[in-house]
Chain A
């Protein structure tokens, strides 16, 4: 955990410095008349201080037992692919419409769990069709949510 604490501690320290500077630009005001950046000034200052404590404790604290790496032997590639897929979906949905983009997304998400099974690929298509149509009916027709129809006009 040590190197992860170091990494995250450094991240929070840098972030707090950026926000601290930005709060000064916004105007901290005076104690009698606090300005727009007053709260952020105090919170980022404290965050920076606590990040320093975390770093200090991690570097000079007691030695801890070796822990397993956080990302090895796990299916983290799946996680990365999923995140990219979600970003792509958010990007293309307004262009190709809710029905087409959701069908493609669902087909991919069902399929990705077991990509080598041909039969599952068929079921993925069936399930994604059912999911897309049902979700459209419930949210768009019954609950009046506004979904984009896209270039296909669907």
Chain B
């Protein structure tokens, strides 16, 4: 009953004009970046982060979260109509979505994707509501050793789930930790690794770094290839699934929702992994697995439900523990810090308007996406027709403005260009960017927890082993790393990497 009262309070928050407007802007921008290649939700969030400085933390968070789950909706449109996924989490939708479009069933494919996303998104919000609050209450008893161990475990899971080499992913996590060291020392307040540059005293800015690594690097990579995009010219009639489509998809949506929600909680590529697993499960349980890859509607409904459910699930570790499980959540984490809020178990108790406002906004956002997206599919198709030669200068300009407007200094532009070049080279040389960004965001928290733990234990590392929660987390992280070396795990790992490729 208490949760219901809190939810009602959340709806009061979200129905304030400003918050509703920010929610609508968030889901629209999210859908747009999901549709457009070259800029994803992370880049868009980094770009719009400075624009939220003058608004309230609730409005900012509502908009930034809207971009994330809006992008999951938008990404499916390109997968179905162009066979090019707008987002990594909609890659698998290409398999059956594009085939459906080729068979003249683009309308049902797009609409089942939207309905599946809506149903999964709504249920994941209920899950978030039910799990986050008790977890946050339990986390109130966590001390620095528990936090250190949980962050370590999160980073290890993230690197373990990396789709390229685990070794390289671990190296990137360490580079991220080192980047997080730049700036003032958290205990002495003295500058370190600033190379004598005053602007680096506050550390490397998250927005220029992320815009460089994701926005600029993506443009550079796209520029060196001239891949023509062909949009399927198909009639977008029958935008609502038939009864037969519903009957065929209903269990796929349920299974996708459950898989997506629980995998979304995991650090790393929760949403991406969830789509692959839900697709594999669907094919396994189907009476006609031979139809998959040839336009089976379950092949669209299940992954599309999974990626939206994962979006809700991934908010749990952030809001209840203060540990972002993926790069998108790292951006939300940064937004909270910028607004003077400390993500963690106290957040729900001390800022109920923020938590319940965000939860309610996700219900509203999901309805808005459904109401806006189905009638606007024609418009999104037109957006897809914008040639890349017109699009990439716009993406670059948005990144430049976004980076400059944070502090009104050109130093941030140089930072962004530097990380753009680094991101481009990292993609070329097979290094993943996500572990770097997440470790960079979690670095200060990890360092503080480590140093405090060692001060408490008077220098004994046993504090991480003897306390039950930290002991289990450290053991799990250790076992995961060890399993990567064992021969019996090598084959599945190689298959997973090949799948990632």
Partners in one complex: yes
* A residues in contact (CB < 8 Å) with B: 1, 4-5, 7-8, 12, 19, 22, 26, 30-34, 36-40, 43-44, 46-47, 50-51, 53-54, 57, 70-71, 74-76, 78-79, 82-83, 86-87, 89-91, 93-94, 102, 105-106, 109-110, 113-114, 127-128, 131, 135, 139, 143-147
Chain B nearest CB from A130 CB (Å) reads 11
Chain A nearest CB from B347 CB (Å) reads 25
B429 close to chain A: CB less than 8 A? yes
Contacts of A43 in B (CB 8 A): 174, 177-178, 181
Of chain B, the residue at the smallest CB distance from A114 is B389
Of chain A, the residue at the smallest CB distance from B424 is A79
Of chain A, the residue at the smallest CB distance from B221 is A79
Chain B nearest CB from A64 CB (Å) reads 12
Contacts of A47 in B (CB 8 A): 171, 174-175, 178
Q: Which listed residue (B185, B220, B414, B429) contacts A36, Cβ 8 A? A: B185
Q: Which listed residue (A22, A54, A91) contacts B168, Cβ 8 A? A: A54
B486 close to chain A: CB less than 8 A? no
- Given A8-B429, A75-B226, A94-B410, the answer on whether A106 and B171 have CB atoms closer than 8 Å is no
Q: Once bound together, how far apart are the Cα atoms of A4 and B165, in whole Å?
A: 14
Chain A nearest CB from B398 CB (Å) reads 8
Q: Give per-residue flags for B156-183: 1 if the beta carbon is below 8 A from chain A beta carbons, else 0.
A: 0000000000011011001101100100
Interface pick from B270-278, B287-295, B400-408: B400-408
How many chain B residues touch the partner (CB < 8 A)?
60
Chain A nearest CB from B195 CB (Å) reads 10
Q: Which listed residue (A5, A12, A31, A39) contacts B459, Cβ 8 A? A: A31
Q: Besides the contacts A34-B454, A110-B393, what 9 more A-B pairs have beta carbons closer than 8 Å?
A: A7-B429, A12-B175, A32-B458, A33-B454, A36-B187, A75-B226, A105-B393, A106-B397, A143-B405
* B residues in contact (CB < 8 Å) with A: 50-51, 54, 167-168, 170-171, 174-175, 177-178, 181, 185, 187-188, 190, 192-193, 216, 219-220, 223-226, 388-390, 392-394, 396-397, 400-401, 404-405, 408, 410, 413-414, 417, 420-421, 424, 428-431, 443, 446-447, 450-451, 454-455, 458-461
Contacts of B219 in A (CB 8 A): 82
Contacts of B396 in A (CB 8 A): 82, 86, 109
Q: Do B193 and A74 touch (CB < 8 A)?
A: no
Q: Do B397 and A135 touch (CB < 8 A)?
A: yes
Q: Do B226 and A146 touch (CB < 8 A)?
A: no
Q: Do B420 and A78 touch (CB < 8 A)?
A: no
Contacts of B167 in A (CB 8 A): 50, 53-54, 57
Q: Once bound together, how far apart are the Cα atoms of A89 and B216, in whole Å?
A: 14
Chain A nearest CB from B461 CB (Å) reads 8
- Given A4-B429, A79-B220, A89-B400, the answer on whether A46 and B174 have CB atoms closer than 8 Å is yes
Chain A nearest CB from B315 CB (Å) reads 27
